[in-house]
Structure 1
Amino acid sequence: MLTMEDIVRDGHPMLRKKVSEVTEIDAQTIAELTSMREYLINSQNPEVSEKYSLRPGVGLAAPQIGLDKRMLAIYVEDEDGNPEYDYMINPKIISHSVNETYLPGGEGCLSVDEDIEGIVQRKKRIRVKAETIDGEKIEIKAKGFLAVVLQHELDHLNGVMFYDHIDKNEPFEPHDNAQPLD
């Protein structure tokens, strides 16, 4: 079981590396992705997270646990409480909206221990292509919170941290085409 001790912290070189494509979906890769998603599920369970001192998370990219692999796990529920998209291997944004959005309270990250204030501008809608753990090619249309989460995790695969997007001069000033996420 992954714990906070397994999460690579800000300043570690792995978090600034553009990680490598996954060329083979083998048993080890599947086990790594499964444990990443299990961390997210456990971190959102109040009893388990308290017992193991887990910080809650909705997404986890492979570099955050020290792996040089283009893959991520997410655990975000839709309006009906059903989990949306568990694992993505070699995900890539293939299109996005012009309009932007942001979380009014800013973003956080399991790899960043302190709160960093400011808004992170993200595309309001994105389309992502990826592979599942079964090797199936998928295309995902994401909007709202799911789009924000995916962009945050995809940034990790390219060595970009969320705070890189915060305007240093006007950290709380949204772009003209950005609306807060409800």
Structure 2
Amino acid sequence: MLTTDDIIKDGHPTLRKVASEVKLPLSNEDKETLEKMMEYVQNSQDPEVSAKYKLRPGIGLAAPQINISKRMIAIHVHDEKGTLHSYSLVNPKIISHSVEKSYLTTGEGCLSVDENIEGFVPRYARITVKATSITGEELKLRLKGLVAVVFQHEIDHLNGIMFYDHINKQNPSTPPEDATPIER
């Protein structure tokens, strides 16, 4: 089982690397890694399990965050309507996105960043992602709102980008222009 101690922190060189494509079909080792990543995200959202193992709550995790430089992400999040979006994916790629932007009114956080970084993170309001599931199925996902933000955050990790790289350095607390706020 992964714990908070397995998550590398901001400043670790792996977080700034572009992760490698995952070879298909998935090896047992890669499947196990993805399963452990999903288990962490799910357990971190369960108050009892989270308290018992001192897990920091998260809604997404990318393999580079556990010092594995491979293109794998686990996302377990409820959208604004309460629908659960739970994915263990390899080689996710944004193949199209809206011109329209959005941002979380609370800003973004990250399991690899311990301090609270103030500022709005502009994201695409809608994205289409192609990826392969843990079972080897090719997926094409059309996402919007919070779920689209989470996917963009995790895919950024695969490209060595941290969420705060997107924050306007001059005016971090100014909402991005023409962007839709997402309450969380």
Pick the TM interval, shorter chain.
over 0.9
CA distance in 2, matches of 1:112, 1:78: 23
Question: Conserved in 1, the CA contact under 8 Å of 2:103 and 2:181?
Answer: yes
Aligned to 2:116: 115
Pairing 1:30-49 to 2, within 5 Å after superposition: 30-49=31-50
Aligned to 1:157: 158
Question: Conserved in 1, the CA contact under 8 Å of 2:45 and 2:58?
Answer: yes
Letter in 2 for 1:168: K
Aligned to 2:2: 2
Aligned to 1:91: 92
CA distance in 2, matches of 1:42, 1:27: 22
Aligned to 1:62: 63
SS at match of 1:85: strand
After TM superposition, the structure 1 stretch with the greater mean CA deviation from structure 2, 82-91 or 44-53, is 82-91
CA distance in 2, matches of 1:180, 1:79: 12
Q: Offset at 1:174?
A: 2.3
Give 5+ residue unaligned stretches, structure 1.
none
1:126-148 deviations in Å (ceiling 9; x for gaps)? 00000011211110000000000
SS at match of 1:75: strand
CA distance in 1, matches of 2:174, 2:81: 33
1:82-116 deviations in Å (ceiling 9; x for gaps)? 53132111000000011111111110000000000
Question: Conserved in 1, the CA contact under 8 Å of 2:80 and 2:146?
Answer: no
SS at match of 2:107: coil
Question: Conserved in 1, the CA contact under 8 Å of 2:79 and 2:146?
Answer: no
Aligned to 1:141: 142
Aligned to 1:177: 178
Q: Offset at 1:81?
A: 5.0
SS at match of 2:171: coil
Question: Conserved in 1, the CA contact under 8 Å of 2:122 and 2:167?
Answer: yes
What TM-score comes out, normalization by structure 1 length?
A: 0.96
What TM-score comes out, normalization by structure 2 length?
A: 0.95
